[in-house]
Amino acid sequence: MDVIDTWTGQTACALQAALRMTNESFAGHLGVAVRTVAGWHSHPETTPRTEMQRALDTSFERASDSVQRRFGRLSRPPESPAPAVAQALRVAIAVVVRHEEVLLVCRRGDDALSWQFPAGMVKPGAAPETVAVQETHAETGIHCTVREHLGGRLHPVTGVLAEYYLCEHLTGDASNRDPQENVDVTWAPIASLTRFIPADRIYAPVLAALEDA
């Protein structure tokens, strides 16, 4: 049996794939929010918190021999492609503009924080532009409307399909409405965006749209 010294988003996703579970069923299996599982797919380098490390240990130790063997293959990146469940995952990202500012949320990690645009997982049959608007309000209290679809890309590591939407602020004061996942919410000056998110991590059409805005 493989021994995991420290679980990461990547190895957690490998366990999910080995168990043949959807994001919803894996979240229920571990007793966490679906957003947490989606975050592991989006950021495989993430290190889950200590209590989550224990939950993943328990899930792996109780798994059948066939699941553990499958995990062993899936957790070795050079020998296996991204899990199918990651390839099927779709995320809607809202780039919300207000005058010369853009809305950001600060995601919580075990040892690190990261600034990102509001985002949400798109379930089968849901419209991604609707998810972008709804998740923005759920996370920040901001009401917005979609102005333009900026395109989509496959995450180079996880294979997650990310759809980007340029949105316009309508009303509401920014506040952290999801303290379990986020630490803070802010309106960042567009001119200083790369101080929050490195330029090489920002989808090029997003940078271009913000320059025009």
pLDDT tens digits for range 109-125: 766 788 999 999 998 88
Instruction: Give the mean pLDDT of the chain.
Output: 87
Chain centroid to CA 68: 26
Q: CA angle, 136 as apex, 200 and 116 as ends, to 5°?
A: 20
Residue 181 DSSP label: T
d(CA 213, CA 102) in angstroms, rounded, equals: 10
Confidence band of 80 (pLDDT split at 50, 70, 90): very low
pLDDT tens digits for range 153-194: 986 645 678 999 999 999 999 999 999 889 999 999 999 999
Max Cα-Cα span within the chain:
57
Which domains, ranges and CATH numbers included, belong to the chain?
9-86 (no CATH), 89-212 (3.90.79.10)
pLDDT higher than threshold 80 for residue 200:
yes
- The pLDDT assigned to 86 comes to 43
Give residues with Cβ within 8 angstroms of 117, minimum separation 6: 93, 94, 95, 96, 102, 103, 104, 105, 206
pTM of the predicted model as reported, rounded to 2 decimal places: 0.59
Chain centroid to CA 202: 14
